[in-house]
Amino acid sequence: MTLTDSPAVNRAGARYGDPDFVLGATSPVIEQQLRHRSVRAFLPAPVTEEELQAVVAAASSAPTSSNLQAWSVVAVTDPARRRRLSDLAARQEFIAEAPLFLVWVADLDRHHRLAERNGRPLDATAYLESTLLGVIDAALAAQNAVVALESLGLGSVFVGAVRNHAEEFADELGLPPHSVAVFGLAVGHPDPTEVAGVKPRLPQTAVLHRETYNASEADAGLPAYDERLAAYNRAHGLTGAWSERVLARLAGAAAMAGRDRLRGILERRGLPSR
């Protein structure tokens, strides 16, 4: 896209809550990514099998460490199972409401099965590096899926709360050892009456460093960002700014809803992460 056919709406400005921020280069893909928002209210219309296959093809197109493809995804449409998964994931109602719940799995069991069939060792999978590799592969695949489904007019929200009760989640989905659910993705047609918008992000000065990391420059924009996010929150029936929410979310194990037990769970699921 050239500057002469630049869009009428400054979507980069909306992304940062700063109308003065304008991109000098853009593309249809970037313009779509700038419009991203999590969707937590869905219409009952199903996601078609064709749409699911297209979204998984986009997920499979993500880069993957050493082409190990250490991820799987479980597509859950059964309403009773979605209700049980919702109960396990902090009773978030949209999991039961969305017609499709995708559970993204860091999956090293495929590789274990391969090694077993061939009578070969697979000792590297016991290390934290391998667990991280599976989590990274799953995340890259899932975000590719998000971009794809948004391009189809669908909406979604990630669900990290699948890790609140990771063992019960694994039981409900019949996950094999050497695998763990990393996050879910509730998917469906966005309910147009949902009160939500493009949530402003940290300014580029906070996240983009030149050559070396500069903490004081990075943090200089935080007060202005707090004001922008507080304004967004007020407009959408929410309270607080960024700094106070971060400090509450990361204060300690009490705010982790069971995820503080994850190391032991990984060990029991055959991902010792040494």
Closer CB to ligand FMN, residue 160 or residue 264? 160
CB of 92 to ligand FMN, least distance (A): 6
Residue 50, C-beta contacts closer than 8 angstroms, at least 6 positions apart: none
CB of 175 to ligand FMN, least distance (A): 18
38 interacts with ligand FMN by CB under 6 A: yes
232 interacts with ligand FMN by CB under 6 A: no
Tell me the sheet residues that pair with 102: 75, 185
Exposed, middle or buried: residue 266 (CB in 10 Å: 0-12, 13-18, 19+)? middle
Closest residue (Cβ) to ligand FMN? 160
CB of 194 to ligand FMN, least distance (A): 11
E strand or H helix at 72, and its extent? strand 71-76
139-158 residues in contact with ligand FMN (CB under 6 A) are 157-158
3 state DSSP class of 236: coil
3 state DSSP class of 168: helix
Instruction: State the binding string over 56-95 for ligand FMN (x if CB under 6 A, else -).
Output: ------------------------------------x---
Closer CB to ligand FMN, residue 103 or residue 111? 103
171-190 residues in contact with ligand FMN (CB under 6 A) are 183
261 interacts with ligand FMN by CB under 6 A: no
d(C-alpha 204, C-alpha 209), whole Å: 9
d(C-alpha 32, C-alpha 9), whole Å: 12
